[in-house]
Amino acid sequence: MTYIAKPQLHHPSLPSNAIGLTRRDYEGRISTLCAGCGHDSISAAIVTACFELDLQPHRLAKLSGIGCSSKTPDYFLGQSHGFNAVHGRMPSVLTGANLANRDLVFLGVSGDGDTASIGIGQFVHSVRRGVNMCYIVENNGVYGLTKGQFSATSDKGSKSKRGAENTESGIDLVALALQLGATYVGRSFSGDKEQLVPLIKGALTHGGAAVLDVISPCVAFNNHAGSTKSFDYVREHNDAVNRLDVILGRTPIKTDYAPGEVRDVTQHDGSVLRLKKIAADYVATDRNAAAAYIQEHQAKGEIVTGLLYIDPEASDLHDRLGTTRVPLNALGTEDLTPGAQALARINAGLR
C-alpha cells in the first residue's frame, strides 16, 4: 500500500464518456494489496470497462467475499453500491440482491479460494440458476490473504514458493461454468488488459450468468519458477482463441474485416460482441465444442483464453421465475399489499 492518496491531478487530455465522467471518476480508494498484485490490474480493467460502458456508478452493485481479491471492490467504483459477504457466501447475497432489484448491474468479485474452495456450493448454484451477473474470479492459485496455501484451482504439479508440490487436481472454473450452464464464459490474464477489458464489458452487458476466470499472479506467494500461475508461465503458455470488441448499441458498426475473420454476436441489450478469430477452428457459440477444445489444449499445457462461450439467447433467473419487471423497492403499496381479496383468491387457487 501507499501512504498518500492517488493525486487528483490528471492528464490534461483525459477524456470524458457519454455521461460526462472520466476514467478517474470510476476509481476507488488506493489499494492496500502487495505492490504488483495481479488483482490491482483487474481492478484497473474494471474501472476502464465501466468507464467505456458509460455506466452510472450508482446503478452498479459490487459484491465480494473474503480474500485479497475480495478486498478489491474497495479499490474501484468508489461511488457504487458494495457488499462484503462472509467467506464464500457472495453468490447467495448477490442472488438475493439481484432478485430484489433487477435493474442494477451486478458485479461479483471473488478469489479462487472464495469461489472454488469454501464457496463452491454457492458458486455453482448461482451459475446454474442463471443469475444475471458478471462473476469475476481473480485466480492466483493460492489463498493469498492467509499467506499462500494452495487453493482448489492450483494445478496438480504446481510448486509452492518453498518447493512443495501440489498433489491434488485443480478445479477448472471455466470447464465447471460451461457444465453448469453459464451463458457467457471467458478466461483472461491480469497482465493483458487489451483482452481483459472487452471481456469484462461483454460480461457486464450480458443478460445472464457471465463467469470470467482471470489468472492473476500473486507476487508474494505464487510468482516463482515452478508455479503455473506466474507472470512468466502464463505469458509462455497463453493460447488466446479470439479477440473481442464490444460495440455499444448506439455506435454504428463498421465492417472492414474479411468475411470469416470476424463474427458479430448481438446481445439482448443491443450491444454487439465482435469476435476476431485467432484459433481458426474455434467456435465460441458451441458449448460442447468449446469444452472439448479447452480440454484438449489444456492437456497440452496451454492456457486457453478469450471469450470461450457465448449464448446470445441467454435468459436469466427472473425470466425463468417470471418475476415482476419492477424492482421491489419501486413497487407501490398496492402491489406489495394487495389486500384480503387478493389473498382470498390465492388461497382459493390452492384449494
Identity of the residue, 205 or 222, whose beta carbon is nearer to ligand TPP in the bound complex:
222
CB of 107 to ligand TPP, least distance (A): 16
Sheet strands side by side (includes 242-247): 242-247, 272-277, 262-266
Identity of the residue, 8 or 333, whose beta carbon is nearer to other proteins in the bound complex:
8
Q: Are 238 and 191 in contact (CB under 8 A)?
A: no
Q: What are phi and psi of 224, to 5 degrees?
A: -110, 170
Identity of the residue, 27 or 172, whose beta carbon is nearer to other proteins in the bound complex:
27
Which residues form the interface with ligand TPP (CB under 6 A)? 66-69, 87, 111-114, 118, 138, 140, 142-146, 151
Identity of the residue, 69 or 98, whose beta carbon is nearer to ligand TPP in the bound complex:
69
Q: Are 131 and 108 in contact (CB under 8 A)?
A: no
The beta strands (E) that lie in the chain are given as: 60-64, 81-84, 105-111, 133-139, 142-143, 149-150, 184-189, 209-215, 238-240, 242-247, 262-266, 272-277, 303-310
Exposure of 29 in the CB half-sphere (CA atoms within 13 A): 9
Q: Which does 155 bind (CB under 5 to 8 A by kind): ligand TPP, Mg ion, other proteins, none?
A: none
Q: Which does 146 bind (CB under 5 to 8 A by kind): other proteins, ligand TPP, Mg ion, none?
A: ligand TPP
CB of 194 to other proteins, least distance (A): 10
Identity of the residue, 189 or 293, whose beta carbon is nearer to other proteins in the bound complex:
189
Q: What are phi and psi of 140, to 5 degrees?
A: -110, 5
Q: Which does 309 bind (CB under 5 to 8 A by kind): other proteins, ligand TPP, Mg ion, none?
A: none
CB of 235 to Mg ion, least distance (A): 19
